[in-house]
Copies of this chain bind each other. A is one copy, B any other.
């Protein structure tokens, strides 16, 4: 009989931010259950977290190495099926590598690794393992992002000419890392975060969103990075000009010093015959602009939407769906892919609801619909970071985006 898929978590102790996001996302659709965890490199914290999560003490580990080895020894009917990695960036590679080499599928928070060297190594390891690797670039899982991608694919706005993608935040307007705040601490520390600060943390989300929706690749970047807050070690503001592989031009800026901005990831894309506008903070609305016909408001759950948008919608129109659902959708899609490997036909969305009603699942897992980011998106992100840093160091000059 079918059973829930078993997850082991690496990182995500009680005082972390993204660990709880992943736990809630994984739980939402009822496909996945948390069975074990190495929540912290501090064994006491790991234990306390396990207790708060009502896990049995023997499934809470002091390190990811211990978890992987011990779980591997458990009988198949009991041991975890995959690990989810929610640590700071510098642990991503080692944890993913060990999990894959021991036969566990991997879900990982982004960026995939600390640097490009690691990301290419990881690609090879994944390939060799034959296992599933899923990277939680979650913003692409919003229904209206799915819809935007399909509209562009279907030529609704014609050839793309201009892309403006922004990710302003304001939370690092002062030297927060000097106060001991945990989130600020590792995100501004090159050893744990990598060669870039805001560019790695949120700029990569902007890059991923732009390439995902348009289906285009950024080919050249001119990037002007700044550290505005004295005493900070990594960039807290980035302004970039972009060029795309179809001749489109663009702007990307991300910032952590836009005082008063919350998490305002947004994108505007203009083509020959229209434009598309989307804002993460109002995620269930997509605007289609048109010079002759005026604008249309496209909304989650309203009217004839693509199967892709429908499959990522859980409520009737007007019942706001948000951030947590994006993680849920990635875990759900990952689960469907895994069940397909197991020879199971993905059935009704286990938690029920709209996906079931619209019978999108007839015929089971469909990678055209239940897509999720993987190592290719991870490589794009790491190469993006590298290119930006290189451009900036050379004096904010045009620099080619080159993958090996």
Interface residues of A, Cβ cutoff 8 Å to B? 1-4, 12-17, 19-21, 23-24, 27-30, 34, 49, 51-54, 57, 157, 161-162, 164, 168-171, 173, 222, 224, 226, 228, 237, 239-241, 243, 249-251, 253, 255, 257-264, 268, 270-275, 280-283, 287-299, 301-303, 314-325, 347-353, 356-357, 395-398
With A352-B12, A352-B52 known to touch, is A281 a contact of B170 (CB < 8 Å)?
Answer: no
The answer on a CB contact under 8 Å between A263 and B318 is yes
Closest 5 CB pairs of A and B: A260-B289, A262-B318, A263-B318, A20-B352, A320-B322
Given contacts A263-B318, A357-B15, contact A296 B296 (CB under 8 A): yes
Given contacts A23-B352, A283-B320, 19 further A-B contacts (CB under 8 A): A4-B54, A20-B349, A20-B351, A21-B353, A24-B29, A170-B289, A239-B250, A258-B270, A259-B272, A259-B290, A259-B291, A260-B274, A260-B290, A262-B301, A280-B318, A294-B303, A295-B299, A321-B323, A324-B324
Contact of A228 among B161, B261, B264, B281 (CB under 8 A): B161
Question: Chain A contact residues: over half helix, strand or loop, or mixed?
Answer: loop
Task: State whether B353 touches A20 (Cβ < 8 A).
Answer: yes
Which residues from chain B contact A275 at a C-beta distance below 8 Å?
170, 258-261
B27 x A30 contact (CB < 8 A) = yes
Chain B residue at smallest Cβ distance from A295: B297
Q: Chain B: which residue is nearest A158 at the CB level?
A: B259
Q: Which residues of B contact A272 (CB under 8 A)?
A: 173, 259
Residues of chain B contacted by A348 (CB below 8 angstroms): 14, 52
Residue of B228, B287, B322 near A319 (CB, 8 A) is B322
Q: Which B residues are CB-close (under 8 A) to A239?
A: 241, 249-251
Which residues of chain B come closer than 8 Å to A262, judged between CB atoms? Answer: 299, 301-302, 316-318
Closest residue on chain B to residue A164 by CB atoms: B253
Q: List 13 A-B contacts (CB under 8 A).
A: A27-B28, A52-B352, A162-B258, A251-B251, A255-B270, A258-B289, A259-B271, A259-B273, A260-B289, A294-B299, A296-B296, A315-B324, A324-B325
Least CB distance from A148 to B in Å reads: 14
Contact A294–B297 (Cβ < 8 Å) = yes
- Which B residue sits closest to A176, measured CB to CB? B291
Contact A296 B297 (CB under 8 A): yes
* A1 surroundings in chain B (CB, below 8 A): 51, 57
Chain B residues whose C-beta falls within 8 Å of the C-beta of A357 in the assembled complex: 15
In the complex, A215→B294 CA distance in Å? 26
Contacts of A352 in B (CB 8 A): 12-14, 16, 19-20, 23, 49, 52-53
Give Cα A175 to B374, complex, Å.
42
Taking the nearest CB of chain B, how far is it from the CB of A136, in angstroms? 14
- Cross-chain contact of A51 among B2, B52, B294 (Cβ < 8 A): B2
CB-contact partner of A170 in B16, B291, B397, under 8 A: B291
CB distance from A275 to the nearest CB of B (A): 5
Contact between chains at B162 and A351 (CB < 8 Å): no
A38 smallest CB distance to B (angstroms):
15
Q: For A16, list chain B residues within 8 Å (CB).
A: 352
Task: Report how far A119 CA is from B351 CA in the complex, Å.
Answer: 30
- On chain B, the residues within 8 Å of A398 by CB distance are 395-396
Question: Separation in Å of the A295 CB from the closest CB of chain B?
Answer: 4
Closest B residue by C-beta to A224: B241
* Complex interface: chain B residues within 8 A of A173 (CB): 272-273, 291
Shortest Cβ gap from A259 to chain B (Å): 5
Check B322 against A162 for contact (C-beta < 8 Å): no
